[in-house]
């Protein structure tokens, strides 16, 4: 599917009224059969499109579509690349990292093979999330990157709170939460020398307005930004706020390390003092009470009165 033509078609369908296949064909300079094929392809991306004989097509729900010129102006001087549909913004940036400058931003309306932590699939219906990746660089090796996913999480949560989403918080090490449900996630991938220069691909995915069909495909409690406010979500404003806040906080991280972020973590910690499991990749579990993080960003678990630090694992609430 040609991205430029698909963008144009979606924008025509997003006007809130039915548009006939004939009118779309004339406007876009393609055949009605091609229009029908595009409609079918768009539905495969998760778009819900009403089709009524004698009236034509329109989107089931109006979308806040990303505006390249607006975003570019607001995040300058950081370069932006916007895709209609892509397999994964992280994968694209990983493949093209040597041709992109540090600070490069890649965003997409739809991902066909989005990825989460530990190789999990990340479901991305069309224009229903914020899907972005950022290229960053650290010159002092992997130890200097300790706590980076928490830094990015704090930046995202603060940006969303600044946009009026006051219930947004974090779950260690890379989940964005609101009201006890998952709102988004962060995926950081590194390439380079363990004791030298590292290129970092930082991926962020945040639910904005998920179609009802998406909820049945996800095996955990989730929410979206639209459920947190009555006003229509401005995806462009949220994206701009997140990109600028992430850049600002990464600059602070490079200058001062993790210490400033360890101090503010309690303001965002959704699981503080709650009974939790900490599950490891080998299937083993530790149980106790969440006790925050240490100065390196490690998770602290209160196990029968003893505070132990853990570098990796997945935290989940357990019943008391």
Cα–Cα distance for residue pair 165/158, rounded to 1 Å: 9
Q: Comparing C-alpha atoms, which of 84, 79, 170 is closest to residue 127?
A: 84
Is 47:125 a contact under the CB 8 Å cutoff?
A: yes
* Beta carbons within 8 Å of 187's beta carbon, 6+ residues apart: 90, 115, 116, 117, 174, 202, 203, 205
Catalytic one of 70, 263, 285, 318: 318
Q: Is 182 annotated as a binding residue?
A: yes
Phi, psi of 107 (to 5 degrees): -130, 160
55 is in an annotated binding site: no
Element (H, E) at 183: strand 181-192
Which residue in the list 32, 117, 161, 286 is annotated as catalytic?
Answer: 117
Q: Is 182 a catalytic residue?
A: yes
DSSP letter for each residue of 250-299: HHHHHHHTTHHHHHHGGGTBTTTT-EEEEE-TTS-EEEEEEEEE-TT-PE
16 among annotated binding-site residues: no
| Strand intervals (E) in 36-180 | 49-52, 56-59, 80-86, 105-111, 129-138, 168-171, 175-178
232 known member of a binding site: no
The answer to whether the annotation marks 111 as part of a ligand binding site is: yes
Catalytic: 51? Answer: no
The annotation status of 117 as a binding-site residue, yes or no, is yes
Q: Give the separation between CA 195 and CA 209, rounded to whole angstroms.
A: 42
Does 116 show up as a binding residue in the annotation?
yes
Residue of 32, 161, 182, 286 marked active site: 182
Residues belonging to the binding site are: 88-90, 111, 115-117, 182
Q: Which residues are catalytic?
A: 117, 182, 318
Residues belonging to the binding site for biotin are: 88-90, 111, 115-117, 182
């Amino acid at each position: 599917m040609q991205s430029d033509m698909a963008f144009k078609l979606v924008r025509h369908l997003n006007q809130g009224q039915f548009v006939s296949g004939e009118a779309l064909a004339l406007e876009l300079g393609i055949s009605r059969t091609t229009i029908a094929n595009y409609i079918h392809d768009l539905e495969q991306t998760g778009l819900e499109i009403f089709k009524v004989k004698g009236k034509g097509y329109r989107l089931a729900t109006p979308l806040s579509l990303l505006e390249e010129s607006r975003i570019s102006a607001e995040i300058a001087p950081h370069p932006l690349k916007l895709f209609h549909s892509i397999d994964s913004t992280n994968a694209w940036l990983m493949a093209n990292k040597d041709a992109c400058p540090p600070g490069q931003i890649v965003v997409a309306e739809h991902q066909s093979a989005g990825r989460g932590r530990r190789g999990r699939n990340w479901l991305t219906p069309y224009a229903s999330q914020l899907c972005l990746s950022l290229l960053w660089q650290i010159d002092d090796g992997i130890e200097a990157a300790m706590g980076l996913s928490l830094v990015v999480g704090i930046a995202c949560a603060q940006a969303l709170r600044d946009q009026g989403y006051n219930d947004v918080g974090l779950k260690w090490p890379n989940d964005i939460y609101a009201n006890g449900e998952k709102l988004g996630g962060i995926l950081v991938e590194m390439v380079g020398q363990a004791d030298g220069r590292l290129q970092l691909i930082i991926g962020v995915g945040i639910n904005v307005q998920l179609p009802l069909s998406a909820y049945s495909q996800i095996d955990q409690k989730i929410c979206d930004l639209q459920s947190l406010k009555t006003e229509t979500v401005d995806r462009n404003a949220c994206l701009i706020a997140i990109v600028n806040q992430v850049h600002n906080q990464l600059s602070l991280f490079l200058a001062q390390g993790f210490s400033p972020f360890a101090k503010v973590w309690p303001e965002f910690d959704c699981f503080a003092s709650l009974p939790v499991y900490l599950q490891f990749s080998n299937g083993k579990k530790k149980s106790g009470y969440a006790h925050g993080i240490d100065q390196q960003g490690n998770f602290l678990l209160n196990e029968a009165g003893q505070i132990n630090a853990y570098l990796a694992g997945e935290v989940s609430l357990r019943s008391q």
